[in-house]
Amino acid sequence: MSEATIEVSILVFVLILVRVATFFAVLPFFGRQMIPAVVLIGLSLALSVMWYISLDSIPSAIVDREDGYLRWLGFALAAGAEFLTGAMLGFAIGIFVYPIQIAGAYLAQEMGLSIASMSDPTTQSNSDVVASLLQTVALLLFFVLNLHHFLLRLLGQSFAIVPIGGGGPNIQQVSKAGLQNFSSLEPLGLSMIGPIGIALFVILIALILLTKAAPSMNIFSIGLSIRIASGLVFTLLFLPHLFGQVAIQFENAKFWLWEYLSKFGS
């Protein structure tokens, strides 16, 4: 194997690594700072080696075969396309995590815990306790439902739909498909905790009526304790419903992501 062929092979491997590493960096679960960078780098390298070995041939779009001259500008553009492909695919998966965050934020607000936000070291931002709890539950269901296997199949299929050095995804079609799903994020999040939210709203109305009936009573201190205790009780009672809604959300995400991935090559 000539020196030029070795160089081209290395650069093709780098392009695969760019897509894979960007995909995992953007993922809502794997891209957190709680996962060591060494683990993400090792996982990206291992998967890149696997997909590089499975390549039928080295893409000719990256190199200029006249006199073995390497088109560095073409390689730079191809690397940008691979970065964009991995980022858009990882971001689309993150869309289905946002309703869980919305549900946790609304539930924390109804329980009176929105003022007790804490610094989340995984996202470097303030996060509600309930939202962090729901995200942890979603992460557990993510692995229980074997969705990490689905992510690998999805990423592997992207190499068939958008080949290495093939020019990247169809940005117009992909952006249109992603924006259409944004409008349903908040209704999905609220539907997950619908029974809990209704129960807490009824308790809030009862506390307001009690304030009107007994103005001298310190309803603020009593009401906050009642709302927190009621929120915890109703959350435990409707926990199977919450698990079911998150599981349905993930199952719907699988069908939508396959359709979304097909837009990359259209």
Q: Could you read off the pLDDT of 22-71 as tens digits, one per residue?
A: 888 888 766 556 677 788 888 888 888 888 888 766 655 555 544 444 46
Rounded Cα distance, 43 and 20, in Å = 9
Would you say residue 242 lies in a domain? yes
Would you say residue 154 lies in a domain? yes
In this structure, the dihedral spanned by the alpha carbons of residues 242, 244, 247 and 249, taken in order and rounded to 10 degrees, is -70
Would you say residue 48 lies in a domain? yes
The boundaries of the domain holding residue 45 are 3-193+238-262
Q: What is the mean pLDDT of the chain?
A: 76
Higher pLDDT, 1 or 12: 12
Taking Cα atoms as reference points, which of 207, 225, 190, 193 lies closest to residue 113?
225
Check if the beta carbon of residue 249 is closer than 8 Å to that of residue 192: yes
Q: How many structural domains compose the chain?
A: 1
Would you say residue 40 lies in a domain? yes
Angle at the Cα of 258 from the Cα atoms of 252 and 259, rounded to 5 degrees: 90
Check if the beta carbon of residue 234 is closer than 8 Å to that of residue 200: yes
What pLDDT score was predicted for residue 67? 42
What pLDDT score was predicted for residue 31? 55
Q: Is the pLDDT of residue 253 over 70?
A: yes
pLDDT digits (tens, 9 = 90+) for 135-158: 778 888 888 888 888 888 888 888
Angle at the Cα of 69 from the Cα atoms of 66 and 71, rounded to 5 degrees: 110
Would you say residue 228 lies in a domain? no
pLDDT digits (tens, 9 = 90+) for 98-129: 888 788 878 877 777 766 555 555 555 556 67
Q: Is the pLDDT of residue 187 over 80?
A: no
**Strand, helix or coil at 96?**
coil
What pLDDT score was predicted for residue 118? 55
**Amino acid letter at 14?**
V
Would you say residue 151 lies in a domain? yes
Rounded Cα distance, 199 and 114, in Å = 18
Would you say residue 160 lies in a domain? yes
Higher pLDDT, 3 or 99: 99
pTM: 0.77
Q: Alpha carbon of 137 to those of 108, 113, 175, 243: distances in Å?
A: 16, 19, 29, 8
Would you say residue 201 lies in a domain? no
Average pLDDT (193-216) is: 80
Average pLDDT (202-225) is: 75
pLDDT band at residue 160 using 50, 70 and 90 as cut-offs: confident
